[in-house]
Structure 1
């Protein structure tokens, strides 16, 4: 009698124990930073330290339980990293509140609570991300509608020259933050259906296969939408982010470098047109080229100069919480929170923050690589690209690598719209990673010993092949 062959399969462990351990470290970062702010400024631990730490811990435990119950195989690293960034951001905003006698940290904690609530609801009720593919065109239409809302005369509101806000019942909201998630779903669904046509070769120019002229419609359409955001809403950052994410997804779906050439050319043309036609774009470039001449030539660059001086004063290790003057930076709690971190936590703190963002992007791309369906691959890639592009343009603007764009730093900066949308973004990434790491039907379930011995923590399972 011939023995049936044995086939070895690699099955991911759930790693919920490792996630809980990392969450405790993340909570220590957030609570420790909050305590350090109180000691550095007031000489004692804040009186509400126990209540604050308890509320943070309750939010993260609820999020962890939701993942353990509904997405057992989700990535174990994403939630702790996001919790650490959010906790650090709250502490820095609280430090600025003490210097300016404002109350932004309390408001940000409320927005964080709403964000975690939507995170839990997304993970609990969206059991299969592929359901979202049914709403490809609906998501695109709703996203365009949201982008148009700030242009309406009654509810639209202009803040710092950008018309990207709406006021409803006394609350301000930035609909573009929700639109970015819907556009990723719309882009992914469209490219899954039409990537074969978009991948067809056209003319060859300088060793690059350019796409056919008849296939340029999607790129031209997205270029026009991005240009419209720049023209009508005066929002350079969102215009760059939306077009960049679409271009990344188009390249990933078709594997055609020609699309990058076409997209890069269109972006350069749009940037040149914007520089020539709009004073606010030209002012951003002048601030970038000569920030220290803001008194005579480039009004509005004072915040960049203050941020550069602060980060230079902070050096490698920083001045310490309460020892710097980050309150001198206008909008330090939002656009320039990285400058405040660089002044009081130094280059070391800035590098730690950048590393955390790199981990989020890496885990998102890892989920895309191991995802079993094309739609999930593109959605995970798009969501990771949003974080990567947003962090790049924000840090690049603060450090004068590129012109200022006005975007917020994810999870760190003050802003309810951005914080809530980014928590939902992480929930979508966790749902996709759960589907990607979950054992196939018929495969023995994996186990979680909580030791965290290996990065991917795979278990070898012997399956008798009939």
Structure 2
């Protein structure tokens, strides 16, 4: 075979995975949600709830529609990501329905139909992203556009006329009868910016700088980006009174710095900066001091009965204690006694009726989702994809930790919502977009490589291309130094689409 003929080799025909495992997992996820809908009504009124058929049909249609789009556009993506999210979304809707059906005064804000509509819109957005985003690497071109978009999104709630203050936090905008929280979308655009910036500057951040006591420290001029993010996160805290989002944005950047450089010094610097900022905010801003006082002295009667005190936190703790090991059962507890039991405190509501066993199962589903995201970051072939997948997976992990840690009094309350489960349109939309991007990167990571066009090293091995220098090698490795196997069409992953 001539060299010209060799250079024209194309990707072999590979049979698409059947994704039967995902179908079975989706069936179980939907069954859990529909079963929860039914048990809510049967426990409260001995009949199916008023919204049972609407909720059940909506959950089935959304799950199947998402599965079909994934089957067509990302057939090699990990098969546990979508079922895990559908399960979390369905159980969350069931709890919102349960609180709404109680008819209690504290449940007046629960609206399962509206939250289902937001979930549907989130699935539609995820499908659109998955359909039109053919290659995640195209997002790298938007690195600085994403940075500009992030700044605009974070500043929107401060714009007169559209910005709204709810419960003391200036984090909402109100346009055409809809309220949105722009910072929920800023966490995605910031992750894209961080991934694009760090994949370009990782060598400088990882290798340059002095060593002190065996700890690799960055150069002073390289501290600029982390200081900017530190100031920006403090700005969100100061001007918008949003402790949770401030922690989330700063945590994402520090985690992605560590992923890019593998230098613990960045984590240490980030923790020191955050600790300093937190102490300063504690001493300066009343809303932060109020959260800290409610955390440290939750059972003090004066703090418990104060406006904005620890009453909600303590009520949630007693609700979880009432759930015990196996829970009171759907419709048998009193979760509606906790204010915002359908949003900020939905974790305590679920803990009361599902018990410790049920909550560990839900945390395990989150763990599976995050593990799939991190596994995708490990296996994807380009540096930008590694950082983007790792950052998005960490975003969900950190948000779950902050919410669960807050309601269990491990850390102060922050005001974030539990991903995919709590009532809130902005959170649902942004988190479903994260799912779509992770599915796209997962498909790229698990898709069999094309046959070599140039630079073939040996049978079944090719070199990295397009200037990428991150395929598991050390920072600074040149593209010609990195080789990787080309999976054949007869491998288990290719023929069956099994999990890696």
State TM-score, norm by structure 2.
0.86
Structure 2 unaligned residues grouped into runs of 5+: 1-13, 452-486
Give 1:17 deviation, angstroms: 1.2
* Matched residue, 1:59: 62
* Matched residue, 1:283: 290
Aligned pair partner of 1:176 in 183, 202, 214: 183
C-alpha distance in 2, partners of 1:206/1:369? 30
SS in 2 for 1:127: coil
Aligned pair partner of 1:265 in 261, 272, 290: 272
Shift of the 46–447 alpha-carbon distance from structure 1 to 2, 3 Å rule, reads farther
Cα displacement string for residues 65-116 of structure 1 (whole angstroms, at most 9, x for unaligned residues) = 0011111101100000000000000000001111236451000000011000
* Matched residue, 1:78: 81
Shift of the 28–446 alpha-carbon distance from structure 1 to 2, 3 Å rule, reads farther
* Matched residue, 2:41: 38
Q: How does 1:216-365 map to 2 (within 5 A)?
A: 216-293=223-300, 295-296=302-303, 299-300=307-308, 301-365=310-374
Aligned pair partner of 2:396 in 387, 396, 404: 387
SS in 1 for 2:302: coil
CA RMSD of aligned residues (A): 2.0
Question: Using CA pairs below 8 Å that are at least 6 residues apart, which structure has the higher relative contact order?
Answer: 1
C-alpha distance in 2, partners of 1:34/1:417? 24
* Matched residue, 1:190: 197
Give 1:13 deviation, angstroms: 7.6
Give 1:44 deviation, angstroms: 1.6
C-alpha distance in 2, partners of 1:139/1:368? 20
Give 1:450 deviation, angstroms: 12
C-alpha distance in 2, partners of 1:13/1:402? 46
Shift of the 87–448 alpha-carbon distance from structure 1 to 2, 3 Å rule, reads farther
SS in 2 for 1:353: helix
Cα displacement string for residues 219-267 of structure 1 (whole angstroms, at most 9, x for unaligned residues) = 1000000010111111011001100110011111111111111111111
Aligned pair partner of 2:101 in 98, 101, 125: 98
Contact 1:15–1:76 (CA under 8 A) maintained in structure 2: no
Give 1:52 deviation, angstroms: 2.7
Shift of the 452–332 alpha-carbon distance from structure 1 to 2, 3 Å rule, reads farther
SS in 2 for 1:401: coil
Aligned length, in residue pairs: 446
Structure 1 unaligned residues grouped into runs of 5+: 1-10, 457-466
- 1:375 maps to 2:384: yes
C-alpha distance in 1, partners of 2:65/2:332? 35
Contact 1:334–1:414 (CA under 8 A) maintained in structure 2: yes
Give 1:55 deviation, angstroms: 1.9
Contact 1:85–1:353 (CA under 8 A) maintained in structure 2: yes
SS in 2 for 1:44: coil
Cα displacement string for residues 308-355 of structure 1 (whole angstroms, at most 9, x for unaligned residues) = 011011100111112111110001111000010111111111111111
State TM-score, norm by structure 1.
0.92
Aligned pair partner of 1:114 in 121, 124, 132: 121
Give 1:270 deviation, angstroms: 0.3
C-alpha distance in 1, partners of 2:31/2:39? 12
